[in-house]
Structure 1
Amino acid sequence: MSKNYLVVGASSGIGEAVAKQLLVEGHVVFSASRNQPSLEGVSHVHWDASQPDASAFVGLPDVLHGLVYCPGTINLKPINRLSLDDFKNDFQINVVGAVAVVQAVLPKLKKAEGASIVFFSTVASKIGMGFHASVAASKGAVEGLTKSLAAELASNQVRVNCVAPSLTDTPLAKNLLSTDEKRDASNKRHPLGRVGNAGDIASIASFLLGEASSWTTGQIIGVDGGMGSIK
């Protein structure tokens, strides 16, 4: 059965891959971001995580079966080079933006009687990685938000889960994989011998949105080539 899904950040990277997967499955996909996706069949509304506007979602259907919040940041610096504004910006994009969308579309999700929300964290919030203080702090907050909302919304049959990837080959990470040497070093840091790709993450997100995960909520799922669990 075709369902209605909102993918925030579907213009590139993981969000684009998730939107593609949902379209292949025959669903109706709405996107929200600063830039319009190039995907055919996606209905787009302009929305900016740095200045969230709830009115952007007024025209969406009365029933949404799922929300995927994909905006993120990679701001890797030593702590003495991170400004307070760096922390505030990461928190705004990763956490406040997600909260703003949930608040705006929650009535539509509740009407689905079995909706799913998918957030994204990072393996760095679990294992501790140098130079990741800002992004790990904000993504750690996303994990707390995931569990809190899962508890709060369970009675409304709204599931909330979070995917925690390691380094993934997307435009957001292009500077970290900009040379063969950097890519080779990054591959070797992962037990499975490679960095992730957007499709790896989209597959898990699609599972969490669908009926196959209907008894799964409040989970932080590591999709990280083994980095977060094994050596």
Structure 2
Amino acid sequence: LKSFDLDLIILTVKAFDTEKAISQIKEFIQPKTYLLIAQNGYGNYEKAIQVIPKNQVVLSRIIFGARIIEPGFAEVTVFGDDVVIGQPENVISKKTLENIARILNQAGIPTKISGEVYAILWEKIIYNSALNPLGALLEKTYGELAENYETRFLMDRIIDEIFETLKAYGIKLRWETSEAYKNHFYQNLIPPTAKHYPSMYYDLKNGKPTEIDALNGAIVNLAEQRGLKTPVNKFITLMIKQMEKAFSTTT
């Protein structure tokens, strides 16, 4: 690969492998190579720009699920919305971003660009944090979580705590309040993915580590740095970590 001038590298590893992956690919990053962060959770972009110039790092929000059929082939199992790409600090030209989006669209992956990609990614982090750990712990689909009073109550508290944390950091979303986001969450985001089980559920079943530290765990850490408490997110994080230990010893 060193003999090729790569135009685009897409990073899709789980969040806990981000640093290792970036250390392995940095030697392939040429002055005109772009790195597209196509991952879940908080911290992937932040880790990437510590190693790679930020004017070569593109952030994305992915909200579709897929499974590998065989090497080189994957099946999209659930589709929530178009992929959104952008540069959080606006240091990559619109033309370059449009070219990347065009390539992805030609490959059959609906993609658009946005100057609000960082806020849009945070909305996905909220979505994942509310649904993934509860779905994994209780072995429920997204739709089942939304239909149940107890799990809906917990998801509401998770979302409220995240909004309070983001407010402390001055991170603005497209929804000014957690209530406004929750209306969007239940009315627009969950219905198209109602039958979906979170990947965290399969990770636990297969004895693999989860991305909890980039989701609810990241919220807990960010909140603590501002002197805030996020008891529901912390409880969920501890439960998943305990389940990771339990499943890793039985598989």
Higher helix share goes to which structure?
2
Larger Rg: 2
**TM-score, normalization by structure 1:** 0.31
With the length of structure 2 as denominator, give the TM-score of the two structures: 0.29
Greater RCO (CA < 8 Å, at least 6 residues apart) = 1
